[in-house]
Amino acid sequence: MRLDRERRWLLFALVVGVPIAVGDLVLGAGRSLVGLLLVCTLLAATRLDGPRTGSVALYVVLLAAGVAVWEGALGERDVLVRLTVLVLGGAYATWSAGRRSARERQLVEASSVAQRAILQPTSFRLGGVAVCARYHSASPQALLGGDLYAFAHTAAGLRLLIGDVRGSGLEAVRLSAAAIGFFRDSAYTHPDLPAVLDATDRRLAPLLGAEDFVTALAAEFRTTGRPAATWVGLANCGHHPPLLLPAGAPPRLLAPAEPTTPLGLHPTPVVQNAVLGPGDRLLFYTDGLAEARSPQGDMVDLAGLRSACSRAALDEAADAVQEALLRHTDGDLADDVAFILVESCPAAPAQDGRGASGARGRAVPAGRVSYDPLRPYRKERRGVAPGG
């Protein structure tokens, strides 16, 4: 965690002054090394905020004064000049560190706003599928992540993407936004998931560095000829497998039979097929959920999320998953979390005044969307089917 790194750096900046002071004492009053103590303040200013840097600067001045007292030279002009330099240098380093940390906070806040705008909480029903997506930012001291998800309503059915950009920070946010845009473009213009992911990979690869990649999982949903059933196709590019939550059976992971590389590394995914019955749910997630650890270091039990995922209303189930995750980690997430809950519900909606997504409000007839987050991304071209 970032806070732990800052504490280690603070300790390092303080410890560096000890051998300098000892060396000065060993050399005696004829030679002075206390000017080198300014290195401690400069080290602190490179990574710490203003108050912490100021504490290091004060420590340096007191340490230098202590050495001078020990040597009986505190009143000498050269010693006073060195102490003045340490005070002025510490004051400037403290001011500079405060300015830098303030700019970093502004950049992080701006990026957080942009990321939340890209990954807005979403609940909708489309045909025989209800969807609820959530993004939960990690604790303030954690770096921004590259989690992403996107949806496209195509002639082939609903298509979705969930993924995670390697790394963190502003670059990860930029790459996640690019991946979302490329997927949406490709989802409307290519006939199947491997082609969609191949097109996304070809456009994304030039933006990635030598060691960058994006784990991704694409899914496609459509109603089958069987009564009350939904066909789902999965194409996994190095991402965590989704958790299948059958209505009347234990949960299980839908791991791909033939794993492939992430986006950016020329993946060749093979579509994995499954059929969802009424009430069956799928949980798609990023590593912020899969690798969440308790204070004791225990990773989250995905199967243990069944109770949370099984809430009657999909929105309530998504909220319950977040609550269960925060309880497991004691509210201290090390990484951002994005997940999508999908339920097969081709039958008529419930008659309790809620839509198929579980959102409160009037019931929505099958085939209509209570809140359509896809409208800005639909493509209507004359003479060309959206999925062809």
Alpha-carbon torsion, ordered 19, 21, 22, 28, to 10 deg:
140
Phi then psi for residue 105, to 5 deg, are -65, -40
Write the pLDDT tens digit of every residue in 108-135.
677 666 666 667 778 898 878 899 999 8
Q: What is the pLDDT of residue 117?
A: 65
Tokens of 206: 């030039």
Residue type, position 362, single letter: R
Residue found under tokens 């950016």: 264
User: Which alpha helices (H) appear in the chain, and where do they start and end?
Assistant: 2-27, 38-47, 50-71, 77-118, 170-189, 193-204, 287-290, 306-309, 314-329
- Kindly list the structural domains of the chain, giving each domain's residue range(s) and its CATH number in brackets, ordered by start: 2-112 (no CATH), 119-377 (3.60.40.10)
Write the pLDDT tens digit of every residue in 132-144.
999 877 655 455 6
CB of 223 closer than 8 Å to CB of 346 = yes
DSSP per position, 130-183: EEEEEEE---TTSPP--EEEEEEEETTEEEEEEEEESS-SHHHHHHHHHHHHHH
- pTM exceeding 0.85: no
Residue type, position 276, single letter: L
Alpha-carbon torsion, ordered 230, 159, 249, 309, to 10 deg:
-130
- CA 356 centroid distance within chain: 28
Q: What is the pLDDT of residue 139?
A: 52
Nearest to 149 by CA among 184, 174, 125, 114: 184
CA-angle at 162, arms to 158 and 168, nearest 5°: 155
Listed as ranges, residues in the chain with pLDDT below 70 are 1-3, 29-30, 108, 111-118, 138-145, 168-169, 224-228, 346-388
Q: What is the pLDDT of residue 300?
A: 84
